[in-house]
Amino acid sequence: MTPSTTETLGTERTPRVAAARKLLRRAGRDRAGRFLVEGAQAVREALDAGPVHELFVTEAAAQRHPELVTAARTGGVRVLTVTERAAAALSETVTPQGLVAVCDLLDVPVATALSGIPGFVTVCAGISDPGNVGTVIRVADAAGCDAVLLAGDTVDPHNGKAVRASTGSVFHLPLARDRDAAGVLAACRAAGLTVLVADGGGERDLHDPETTPLLAGPVAWVLGSEAHGPGDELLAAADHRIRIPIHGRAESLNLATAAAICLYGTVGARAGVAPRLHTGA
């Protein structure tokens, strides 16, 4: 179903568009309890996860993705066809895709994210780059994490760049935010998780065979910013500090690469240990 050609198009001055534009800023998102999701893939994930309150779509985007417009209308979502300029006003990208959804904020309390029996959690500590946060959420989702906790001064995961970098993974696993980073680590430990901090100067080597049983257990991986790391307080609060060995002349690894190596190191350790747990007598 595509919009009628006689339908009045929303502009950047239309009240609903103007209200949605406020969600481009964190203060606006926190005040409204909602955020923007842009692009076909992210909107598709949002519609699957629900709830979506509004969908803004250009005529061209509606022709490219009629199934999304139909799904939105079938699900009771308010759909407004807008001009290209209005879509651009709701976008933070160089080339707007013409599809923007308004969704409820996704984060839950830390206690809720850690409810049940969590076995594999990622903690983003003081990460200020939204692209890095979104990528870490994507990696955590791919690796099968139970939750992602955003501690300290970590950027809002509902930031447009973070949402795009996650490629929809923000909708797949619990997210929790808490400015008390030490309290987040304490909550992880109380939930039965061993707290591991990724640190270039760590006392344990990720690839040391003696580290494998540690990785195979219930763990919370703490990842800090590229520029400053997790900070002395969290390094001291962790149960172990794990280093990724550098075999060549590279000074370090970027955050996304380090996250993938650490999280999939845990996946690999569990795959290697699990068969032995079910053998013997």
Q: Name the packing angle between helices 130-143 and 255-277 (round to 10°).
A: 10
Query: Under DSSP, is residue 78 helix (H, G, I), strand (E, B) or coil?
Result: strand
Residues 6+ apart with CB under 8 A from 119: 146, 193, 218, 219
Q: What is the C-alpha to C-alpha distance for residues 230 and 222, in angstroms, rounded to an integer?
A: 7
Q: Which residues pair with 38 in a beta bridge?
A: 100
Beta-carbon-side half-sphere exposure of residue 120 (alpha carbons within 13 Å): 21
The CA distances from residue 263 to 71, 115, 143, 244, 279, in Å, are 35, 21, 6, 12, 26
276 exposed, middle or buried (CB, 10 Å; 0-12, 13-18, 19+)? Answer: exposed
Whether a cis peptide bond, with omega within 30° of 0, leads into 51 is yes
249 exposed, middle or buried (CB, 10 Å; 0-12, 13-18, 19+)? Answer: exposed
Residues 6+ apart with CB under 8 A from 95: none
- Contact between residue 78 and residue 65 where contact means Cβ atoms under 8 Å apart: no
* Cα–chain center distance at 38: 15
The CA distances from residue 201 to 39, 150, 240, 273, in Å, are 40, 23, 11, 26
pLDDT of res. 275: 41
Residues 6+ apart with CB under 8 A from 269: 211, 212, 213, 214, 215, 216
pLDDT of res. 230: 84
Q: What is the C-alpha to C-alpha distance for residues 215 and 196, in angstroms, rounded to an integer?
A: 9
pLDDT of res. 226: 79
Reading the block at residue 51, the tokens are 């709830």
Consecutive H or E run containing 47: helix 40-49
What is the reported pTM? 0.91
Q: Which residue has the tokens 């969590």?
A: 118
Reading the block at residue 64, the tokens are 């490219």
Query: Under DSSP, is residue 83 helix (H, G, I), strand (E, B) or coil?
Result: coil
Q: Is the dihedral of CA 259, 261, 266, 271 positive or negative?
A: positive
pLDDT of res. 273: 57
Q: Which residues pair with 149 in a beta bridge?
A: 123, 176
pLDDT of res. 37: 96
Mean pLDDT, the chain cut into blocks of 10 residues (281 residues total):
61 96 97 96 93 96 97 96 96 93 97 94 96 97 97 95 95 96 96 95 93 95 87 91 93 92 95 50 35
Give all domains of the chain, ordered by start, each with its CATH number: 15-104 (3.30.1330.30), 110-277 (3.40.1280.10)
